[in-house]
Amino acid sequence: MALSQNGWKAGTPEEIGGLDTSKVAGVGFPQGVRRGPAAVVLHYLLYQLHTRVEPLRAGWCWGYHYKRIEGSDDLSNHASATAVDYNAPDHPMGKRNTFSAAQRAEIRRILAELDDVVRWGGDYEGRPDDMHFEIVAGVAKVERVAARLTGNPAPTPPSKPGRPAPGPEIPYPLPKRYFFGPESGGDESVSGVHARRFAGHTDRYWIQTWANQLRRRGWPVGQGRRYLTRAGNDGKFGPEYDQLVRAFQRDQALSVDGELGPMTWAAAYRNPIR
Give the domain CATH number at 139. Answer: 3.30.1380
166-169 long-range contacts (CB < 8 A, ≥24 apart) are 166/213, 166/216, 166/217, 167/269, 169/266, 169/269, 169/270
Residue type, 29: F
- What's the CA gap between 244 and 97, in Å, rounded? 22
Judge whether 224 lies within some domain.
Answer: yes
Residues 260 and 209 in one domain: yes
**Model confidence over 135-157: pLDDT tens digits?**
999 999 999 998 888 776 555 55
CATH number at residue 254: 1.10.101
For 199, the enclosing helix (H) or strand (E) is none
Quick one: average pLDDT of 231-254?
A: 90
Counted domains in the chain: 2
Judge whether 172 lies within some domain.
Answer: no
Residues 141 and 184 in one domain: no
Radius of gyration of the chain (CA): 19
pLDDT at 160 exceeding the cut of 80: no
Range of the domain at 216: 179-270
**Model confidence over 60-89: pLDDT tens digits?**
999 999 998 877 788 999 999 999 999 999
Judge whether 77 lies within some domain.
Answer: yes
- Is the pTM higher than 0.95? The answer reads no
pLDDT at 179: 96
- What's the CA gap between 213 and 7, in Å, rounded? 22
Q: Sorting pLDDT into bands at 50, 70 and 90, what band is 161?
A: low
| Average pLDDT value for the chain | 91
